[in-house]
Structure 1
């Protein structure tokens, strides 16, 4: 688990990943940071869209999974082992960033670097409000959506798994930041 109480692997659902990719919109010429890369699925999808990707995770197993996923799908990306926000200091400036773990402290450190777009998720409304407020204070226009996915066993049409997450996205505004 991350220090903010989120479980390892949270944010790895296919629906949330698709929504994050849609909001972030990585494209050719973008440098994407994927912080808390987990399985590597998001990093691989961003690389398949033509973006340059730096995938970061403090878990060596997650780094290995991301490397393996990149090889399996024939994409190139850089994997960096280390804990955010400290490991981010030496990385080149990003255009777009997915914060998959680390909570508000990591989102704030990322916002200080001024990427054009940031996506993050939160498990609770309080955590979402904290992240959203911080992005707003950094000059980002913020959108938030509550996503819920329910997997069903189609033999009995019974629920097998339910995932709920607040998806936050921030786009850098043109107006100056007031602190």
Structure 2
């Protein structure tokens, strides 16, 4: 880059995942002789824009993942969270408290780079499996937020699946364009909204109620009632 502060680090592939990357960075990946590159493969972690997914649409139903999703990962809540995040090619998405990995995998399907964080080993394994099933790449970090976030690169948008107000405050301090989370009660939603507003974010909250129906006999199959809370940094635009 031609400056006195330039530093060059050469890493083999087995060391790259554990290396601490500091912004700004230029990363050059060099494949060895015989490296297989699939036709049309590009630089993004998800897929090329406009790719034809195996399952069209977003917020795919539970059966697409082959695992049980909890209330905080219901199909319609994920749809609303993805819409508010607006993840796109070139973004870095943090998914904190990633759970099954359904939202992380779908954000990567939009072409975003995704770092999924969870304290539970089972959740980390499930997220890696969801990414493989979706045909995308993402990074999984096992650790408890907010401490696990300290050494991560700066995010563009953040989805918080768990961790409470302390995690919201820690994320707001990193100044992503958008922060999206959910709450089970109005008091919890108000506390999250207050923390986002104190961090300089414009806050939006909606009570979402969804009832999934079995169209075989039209019986109730899945019910979810949550508060969707999102914050937008004013200077980031609509």
1:20 aligns with 2:81: yes
Residues in 2 aligned to 1:116 and 1:102: alpha-carbon distance in whole angstroms: 20
Q: How is 1:49-128 mapped onto 2 (pairs within 5 angstroms)?
A: 49-128=110-189
Q: How is 1:156-167 mapped onto 2 (pairs within 5 angstroms)?
A: 156-167=217-228
User: Would you say how many aligned residue pairs link Structure 1 and Structure 2?
Assistant: 168
Structure number having the greater strand percentage: 1
1:170 aligns with 2:231: yes
Q: Measure how far apart 1:174 and its partner are.
A: 3.2
Residues in 1 aligned to 2:213 and 2:134: alpha-carbon distance in whole angstroms: 28
TM-score normalised by L of structure 2 = 0.68
| Contact 2:71/2:224 (<8 A) preserved | no
Q: Measure how far apart 1:155 and its partner are.
A: 4.0
1:11 aligns with 2:72: yes
SS of the equivalent of 1:101 reads coil
Pick 1 or 2: higher relative contact order, CA cutoff 8 A, min separation 6. 1
Alpha-carbon spacing, 1:72–1:153, altered in 2? closer, same or farther (3 Å): closer
Larger radius of gyration: 2
Instruction: Tell me which stretches of 4 or more aligned residues in structure 1 moved more than 6 Å.
Output: none
Q: Measure how far apart 1:105 and its partner are.
A: 1.3
1:143 equivalent in structure 2: 204
Residues in 2 aligned to 1:10 and 1:103: alpha-carbon distance in whole angstroms: 16
Alpha-carbon spacing, 1:127–1:88, altered in 2? closer, same or farther (3 Å): same
Structure number having the greater helix percentage: 1
Query: What is the RMSD computed on CA atoms of the aligned residues?
Result: 1.5
Gaps of 5+ in 2: 1-68
TM-score normalised by L of structure 1 = 0.90
SS of the equivalent of 1:151 reads strand
CA displacement 1:7-45 (0-9 Å, x = unmatched): x93311010001000000000111000001111110011
